[in-house]
Each structure stands twice: as C-alpha cells, then as structure tokens.
Amino acid sequence: MITLVLKDLLLQKKILTTMFIYVFIFSFAFRSLGEYQPVAIITGVSYMLVMFAGAWEDKNNADRLWNSLPVSKWQIVGSKYLSVLAYVALASAATWITMTVLSLVNVSVAMGAVSLVSIAAGAVSVLLLSSFYLPIYFALGYIKSRYLNFVIYFAFLFLANALSGLVGRLSAVPFLANAGSAVLLGLGVGSMALVIAVSFVLSLRLYTRREF
C-alpha cells in the first residue's frame, strides 16, 4: 500500500510548482479568515492534490492496470485515504515555505502561523472532505465524480455548520461539560475515525462493484 502512496506522490511531482502558485493565491484569497488562514490554505491545496491524483488515474485509465496486477481492491482504496495524509504534509510544507519566503521579502499576507495545530486542523478538514468525495470517486471514477464536486463542497459546508451548532448544544450536556480535554480529544478522534471507517467501507463496496 505504501508503494501506491509513493506512486501518488510521484505523480504529483509535475505539479509541485503549480502547488506553490496555488498556496500564493490562496494566501491572499483567505486573508479574511485571520488565524484560520493556514488551515484553509492547507485544506484547499491538499484537496486539490486529491483531485489531481484522481485526474491522473483517469487520464491513464489506471484502474485497468491496478486491477490486472496482484493488488487487492482494499489496497487500492486504502492507499487513496493514506495519500490524503501525504498531501497534507506536502501542502503544509508548501504553505510554510511560501509564508516564510513572503515574510522575508516583506509581503505581509500571513494572518496566522503554520503550526502543528493548523496542520492537524487542515488534516481533519481534508480527511472529512475526502471521506465525502472518495466513495463517489470510487463509484463513478474521476470524470463523473468531478461534476458532483460542488455538491460535496456544499454538503460539507452544510454539515460542518450543522455540526458546529450541535457541538455548541452538546457542551451543555453535563458529561461533556465536565469532561477533560483528553476525553474530548478522544471523542473527536473517535468520531473522525468512525467517519473515515464508514467512508472506507463504502468506497470499497462501491469499487468492488465497478467493472473496468
């Protein structure tokens, strides 16, 4: 599976320069977000890399190749979820480098620092976004899923909004109000793991049904 992740990274090398340009553009576009600016950049760039990876696969009709090689479908599907983390690492590094260079040349765009917290928040956002996108990608392939992308964006924003309201109300629940940060972190990570697990199982089932 690691080989498949490395393959995804190798395919992205062609757009490394483009990635820095996107970080540069996003750093201006997301200035109004203040301290959340790096999170938004990391999320945006990472999700673009997810999209680009899908486009490469489709362009080369790679599903036919991978399903002819001794590679199981769960490896093919699982590697796409793992690759998301690799993209977050790439996007975070690109964001940090761009922000640092811009500050060195006195271009003031950095509204927040690229910290471990912003990287983690970016990772959570992209993993959630990808958990919505990947089952559709594995069911339909890149070209058809591309048309549903804006639906995914809006569904994600709607859900994020609904969840933030829910979290506000949940804080009134005595157990959660009295819970320590470790418990809350555990609940957060657990919920996240559940979403990814459900998404993975769904992706695998849908991909298994596909014909090439």
Least gap, CB of 145 to another protein (angstroms) = 20
Least gap, CB of 46 to another protein (angstroms) = 20
Least gap, CB of 9 to another protein (angstroms) = 11
Among 28, 147, 158, 212, binds another protein (CB under 8 A): 212
Report the amino acid identity of residue 120.
Answer: A
Asked if 41 and 96 touch (Cβ cutoff 8 Å), the reply is no
> What separation in angstroms does the CA of 109 have from each of 39, 96, 104, 120, 152?
14, 12, 11, 21, 29
10 binds another protein (CB under 8 A): yes
6 binds another protein (CB under 8 A): yes
**Residue reference for tokens 């049904």:** 209
Counting Cα atoms < 13 Å in the Cβ hemisphere of 8 gives 27
Binding part of the chain for another protein, among 21-29, 53-61, 130-138, 198-206 by CB under 8 A, reads 53-61
Per CB under 8 A, contacts with another protein among 12-31 are 14
Q: Where are the alpha helices (DSSP H) in 105-148?
A: 116-140, 142-146
Counting Cα atoms < 13 Å in the Cβ hemisphere of 206 gives 16
62 binds another protein (CB under 8 A): yes
How many chain residues touch another protein (CB under 8 A)? Answer: 21
Residues contributing to the site for another protein (CB under 8 A): 3, 6-7, 10-11, 14, 56, 59-62, 64-65, 67-72, 211-212
